[in-house]
């Protein structure tokens, strides 16, 4: 599997589909992003008919008090190889300010990804 190295961490990815690569990162669970992708796809059966899909390990997290909680959880279930974490007592803004709560999840995610890579 191809990978890029970022700061000593190998980030593995897979490319599927046709067309130019499309990488979505922050905010990909918003309705506007899904609507834009649907419009770009036109009458195609899947996004891979229009864009090359690049998959890689993904950690999604959300605050327990964030109204987007259910949306992010559903997105995590639909992304193969993703991990999902809920930060207790945090709303949307607090999840970006509480590195003490996020970092343990990131460390566990990176540890698991390294173990998968070693196999």
- 51 and 69 assigned to the same domain: no
| Domain hosting residue 8, numbered range | 1-56
Q: Report how far residue 79's alpha carbon sits from residue 68's, in angstroms, rounded to the nearest whole number.
A: 17
Whether the predicted pLDDT of 31 surpasses 80? no
Q: How far is CA 19 from CA 16, 35, 43, in A?
A: 10, 19, 16
- Domain termination site, one of 37, 56, 75: 56
- 35 and 23 assigned to the same domain: yes
- 81 and 63 assigned to the same domain: yes
- 51 and 79 assigned to the same domain: no
Which pLDDT belongs to residue 35?
54
- 79 and 104 assigned to the same domain: yes
- Domain termination site, one of 36, 56, 76: 56
- 118 and 108 assigned to the same domain: yes
Which pLDDT belongs to residue 90?
93
Give the tens place of pLDDT for each residue, 47-105. Answer: 666 666 666 677 888 999 998 888 888 878 877 778 889 999 999 889 888 889 988 98
Which pLDDT belongs to residue 64?
93
Percent of the chain at pLDDT above 70? 66
- Domain termination site, one of 41, 56, 71: 56
- 68 and 30 assigned to the same domain: no
Q: What is the mean pLDDT of residues 5-34?
A: 66
How would residue 41 be classed by pLDDT, with cut points 50, 70 and 90?
low
Total domains, the chain: 2
Which pLDDT belongs to residue 109?
85
Q: Report how far residue 114's alpha carbon sits from residue 119's, in angstroms, rounded to the nearest whole number.
A: 9
- 4 and 36 assigned to the same domain: yes
Tell me, yes or no, if the pTM score tops 0.85: no
């Amino acid at each position: 599997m191809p990978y890029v190295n970022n700061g000593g961490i190998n980030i593995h990815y897979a490319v599927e589909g046709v067309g130019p690569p499309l990488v979505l990162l922050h905010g990909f669970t918003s309705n506007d992003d899904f609507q834009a992708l649907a419009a770009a796809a036109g009458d195609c059966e899947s996004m891979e008919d229009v864009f090359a899909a690049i998959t890689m390990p993904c950690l999604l997290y959300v605050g327990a008090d964030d109204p987007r909680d259910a949306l992010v959880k559903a997105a995590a279930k639909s992304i193969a190889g993703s991990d999902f974490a809920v930060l207790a007592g945090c709303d949307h803004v607090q999840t970006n300010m509480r590195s003490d709560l996020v970092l343990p999840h990131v460390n566990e995610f990176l540890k698991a990804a390294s173990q998968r890579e070693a196999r």
